[in-house]
Amino acid sequence: MTTLEITGGRVLRPDFSVERADVLVDQDAGEILDVGDVPEGDETLDAADCLVMPGLVNAHTHAAMTLLRGYADDKPLDAWLQEDIWPAEAELTAADVRAGTELALVEMIRGGVTAFADMYFEEPAVADAVADAGVRARLGHGVVTVGKDDESARADNEESLDFAREYDGYADGRVKTVYAPHSLTTVDDALLAEFTAEARGAGVPLHFHANETAGEVEPIVESEGERPLAHADDLGMLTEDDFLAHGVHVDGEEIDLLAARGTAVVHCPASNMKLASGMAPVQRLREAGVTVALGTDGAASNNDLDVFDELRDAAMLGKLAAEDAAAVPAEAAVEMATAGGADALGFDSGRVEAGANADLAVVDFDAPHLTPVHDHVSHLAYAVRGSDVRHTVCDGRVLMEDRDLVTLDEAEIRGRAADRAADLAERAD
């Protein structure tokens, strides 16, 4: 057994207390062995002036959309998708997706993210990028059937399920998969019911967008005579293994339904603000007992993948939505970005405790914007930035040490992504 000792810092415990402690990691098993006064490790990571916390979880993104960062802004969701994003995405190749995903991984590891959920195309290229980078991910091929004939609509669903079956457990088990119908309004109902049932039989969970905009809710209410999540429940789409992105426009009955089914919601505050989609009732969801995670959504609607930004946005927007400054307090925001995300994605991460996955972010508090430190958790929610992360560890392996990436060649990846993005924009024009 090879061990890693993270030494000299403070540790954020699962109960949100902060104590002076070291962390010992079993690098072979990828697990935390001990927290506190630990035996000496084979290797050490210095954590002086730092807080060791669970690695952040970006529970909803489209990683390769980094290539479309800043490509089209300041439009509502429908027009933005139809006029800009979908035409560009139609030109994407597997090599583009690989390059964009690698860029996303550089950015996420630099910001302390150790796990993410991706819904996109050319997903095997994403899985390969994840394997090389060393992070953990829940991946799915996104299905859209609008505008497709029966045969290609069916083939798209089959591709999603085939990918899920083939790649679950990939990269030494760090990759897990989903069936990923894009949303209730972009996938044909009959196919949705059929392939959801097939996914259940194969033990594959679901990741989909739901109740993101008011404009998406109305047509479902009109055609089905029920709210979108009641309809999703009829289609068998809500179980405790599933997670849906957004959940902005949910009513009280839908919140109770989510709580009863155990389906997690991934809140994406920056994307919801930028596309003016609305304010998710995060405080009400949490009070009802729904697992809430955080996601950046794609870089084109954010426009970065800094989960610390998201955490602050979630706390701020949650207060505005509830018209209550006590809503979504600092601890809740940190919980959503760590344990909440890990629970939504089904990873035994998100808590610094013995036996959990050794997925960790070591945050350097030796900075002017983090001085003084009355309360570490307050700083995590309101003042820490992704660039304050000093070391990132996933599955017991050091992915970034003293701000230097270990597994990825940042300069090469940035250059390749910039070239591919320029070429993509030219083709899409």
Q: Which residues does the annotation place in the binding site?
A: 60, 62, 89, 182, 209, 212, 297
Residue (of 138, 208, 222) closest to 173 by Cα position: 138
Contacts of Zn ion in 268-307 (CB under 5 A): 297
Contacts of Zn ion in 110-139 (CB under 5 A): none
| Cβ-based nearer residue to Zn ion, 297 or 309 | 297
Residue type present at position 415: G
Tokens found for residue 234: 């009829």
* Closest CB 257 distance from Zn ion, rounded Å: 21
| Cβ-based nearer residue to Zn ion, 248 or 424 | 248
CB 388 within 8 A of CB 364: yes
| Cβ-based nearer residue to Zn ion, 7 or 271 | 271
| Cβ-based nearer residue to Zn ion, 10 or 182 | 182
As a whole number of angstroms, the distance between CA 358 and CA 354 comes to: 9
Cα separations (Å) of 87 from 90, 91, 419? 5, 7, 19
As a whole number of angstroms, the distance between CA 64 and CA 100 comes to: 4
| Cβ-based nearer residue to Zn ion, 73 or 404 | 73
* Closest CB 295 distance from Zn ion, rounded Å: 7
Residue the block writes with tokens 């009829």: 234
* Closest CB 266 distance from Zn ion, rounded Å: 9
How many CB atoms within 10 Å of residue 248? 26
Size of the site for Zn ion (CB under 5 A): 1
How many CB atoms within 10 Å of residue 197? 12
Total length of the chain: 429
| Cβ-based nearer residue to Zn ion, 27 or 296 | 296
Residue type present at position 42: D
Binding residues for substrate: 89, 182, 212, 297
303 upstream amide cis, omega within 30 of 0: yes
Cα separations (Å) of 201 from 192, 198, 231? 14, 5, 20
Binding residues for Zn(2+): 60, 62, 209, 297
Q: Read off the DSSP letter of residue 40.
A: P
Residue 89 contacts Zn ion per CB under 5 A: no
* Closest CB 324 distance from Zn ion, rounded Å: 28
Strand partners for 400: 392, 405
CB-count exposure of residue 198 (10 Å: 0-12, 13-18, 19+): middle
| Cβ-based nearer residue to Zn ion, 9 or 228 | 228
- What residue ranges bind Zn ion (CB under 5 A)? 297
